[in-house]
C-alpha cells in the first residue's frame, strides 16, 4: 500500500536522529498514559514540534513527543500524544503512528486509550483488552487503499490476557465502540450502545486498528476505563477523571505494556 509522502520525509528525519530502520515495538499511549515514556531506557525524546511535517497534539494530558529507547531489551518507539479526528485531523493523519510503525518495519503495535465504561460490570481503573470494535459504519477513510480487510482481534486478545496474567495484571475484556467526538455521549446513546454490544466507548484506536490490519501489522489494544459512560452513574464527565484513573493504574499499565513488548 502506498503511504503518504510526508511519512517518507518523517522517516528520513527519524533515521537521521538515530532511530533504526527496524524497531521491535511501537506503542501509542492514550490520554493520561504518557508516563509510560519514563520507563523507556536509554531514551531519545523528540518533541512533535521538532519533527518536520508532524501534526501537533492539542489535547490536555498528551505531551506530544516521540520517545525511542529500550523496553526489556527491545527497541521501542512510543507516541506520547495522539491525533484525534475531533481535533480536526483527517482520518489519514489520525493513523500517522500506524504508518510510522509500518515504515519502520515494526514487529508489533500496541495501542492504548482512555475510555468510558458501558458494561455495568466495569469499574473506573479497569484495564479492558479489546477483543473487537464497533465503528457504526463511520466511513474511516484513513488510506487510499480500497483493499478488502477483515479485523479479527480475538486470538490476539487471548494472548494479551495470558501475558497480563503472567505479569500479575488483572484485565477485563470487551468490545470498544468508536465515536468521533468531541462530545461525550448522551445517556440514551450509551443505552443504545450497550444493546449493540459495546463494553467501552472512546474517540480513538478503531481507525488505528483498521489501518494496522490493512498493513498487516500485528496489533493489540487496551482501554483504561477512566469513567462510567454517560447515564451509568450520576457523575458528570470531565477530563480530570482521566488523569486520576491513569495515575491509579500507572504501575499495572506499565507492567502490562512491558510484558507485551517482550512476549506478544
Ligand atoms: N466517552 C467517549 N470517549 C471517552 C470517554 C467517554 O465516556 N471517556 C474517555 N474517553
The CATH number linked to 154 is 3.40.50.1580
Tell me how far the alpha carbon of residue 114 lies from the centroid of ligand 1, in angstroms: 7
Are 61 and 112 spatial neighbours (Cβ–Cβ below 8 Å)? Answer: no
In this prediction, residue 247 carries a pLDDT of 86
How many angstroms separate the CA atoms of 192 and 206, rounded? 19
What does residue 169 show for φ and ψ, rounded to 5 degrees?
-110, 125
pTM reported for the whole predicted model:
0.93
Are 129 and 161 spatial neighbours (Cβ–Cβ below 8 Å)? Answer: yes
Tell me how far the alpha carbon of residue 204 lies from the centroid of ligand 1, in angstroms: 10
Are 62 and 33 spatial neighbours (Cβ–Cβ below 8 Å)? Answer: no
Mind listing the pLDDT tens digit for each residue in 76-111? 999 998 888 998 888 889 999 999 999 999 999 999
Domain that holds residue 215: 5-263
User: Taking 70 as the threshold, does the pLDDT of residue 60 lie above it?
Assistant: no
pLDDT over 70, % of the chain:
91
Residue nearest to atom 10 of ligand 1 (CA): 115
In the chain, where does DSSP find H-type helix? 5-16, 91-94, 96-103, 154-166, 187-196, 206-215, 240-263
* pLDDT confidence tier of residue 137, bands split at 50, 70 and 90: low
Tell me how far the alpha carbon of residue 113 lies from the centroid of ligand 1, in angstroms: 10
Residue nearest to atom 3 of ligand 1 (CA): 202
Residue nearest to atom 2 of ligand 1 (CA): 202
Tell me how far the alpha carbon of residue 230 lies from the centroid of ligand 1, in angstroms: 9
Q: Does residue 112 or residue 229 have the better pLDDT?
A: 112
Are 248 and 125 spatial neighbours (Cβ–Cβ below 8 Å)? Answer: yes
Tally the domains of the chain.
1
Report helix, strand or coil for 230: strand
Ligand 1 shell residues, CB under 6 Å:
114-116, 179, 184-185, 201-203, 226-227, 229, 237
Amino acid at each position: 500500500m502506498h503511504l503518504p509522502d510526508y511519512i517518507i520525509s518523517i522517516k528520513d528525519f527519524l533515521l537521521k536522529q538515530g532511530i533504526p530502520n527496524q524497531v521491535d515495538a511501537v506503542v501509542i499511549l492514550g490520554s493520561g498514559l504518557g508516563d509510560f515514556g519514563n520507563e523507556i531506557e536509554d531514551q531519545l525524546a523528540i518533541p512533535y514540534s521538532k519533527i518536520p511535517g508532524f501534526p501537533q497534539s492539542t489535547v490536555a494530558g498528551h505531551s506530544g513527543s516521540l520517545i525511542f529507547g529500550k523496553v526489556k531489551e527491545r527497541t521501542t518507539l512510543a507516541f506520547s500524544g495522539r491525533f484525534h479526528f475531533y481535533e480536526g485531523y483527517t482520518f489519514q493523519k489520525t493513523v500517522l503512528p500506524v504508518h510510522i510503525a509500518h515504515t519502520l518495519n515494526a514487529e508489533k503495535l500496541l495501542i492504548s486509550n482512555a475510555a468510558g465504561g458501558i458494561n455495568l460490570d466495569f469499574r473506573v481503573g479497569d484495564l479492558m483488552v479489546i477483543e473487537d470494535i464497533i465503528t457504526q459504519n463511520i466511513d474511516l477513510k484513513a488510506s487510499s487503499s480500497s483493499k478488502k480487510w477483515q479485523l479479527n482481534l480475538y486470538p490476539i486478545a487471548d494472548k494479551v490476557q495470558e501475558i497480563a496474567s503472567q505479569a500479575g495484571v488483572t484485565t477485563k475484556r470487551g468490545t470498544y465502540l468508536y465515536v468521533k467526538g468531541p462530545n461525550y455521549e448522551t445517556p440514551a446513546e450509551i443505552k443504545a450502545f450497550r444493546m449493540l454490544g459495546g463494553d467501552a466507548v472512546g474517540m480513538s484506536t478503531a481507525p488505528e486498528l483498521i489501518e494496522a490490519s490493512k498493513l498487516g501489522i500485528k496489533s493489540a489494544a487496551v482501554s483504561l476505563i477512566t469513567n462510567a459512560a454517560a447515564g451509568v452513574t450520576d457523575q458528570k464527565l470531565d477530563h480530570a477523571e482521566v488523569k486520576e484513573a491513569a495515575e491509579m493504574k500507572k504501575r499495572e499499565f506499565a507492567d502490562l505494556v512491558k510484558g507485551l513488548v517482550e512476549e506478544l
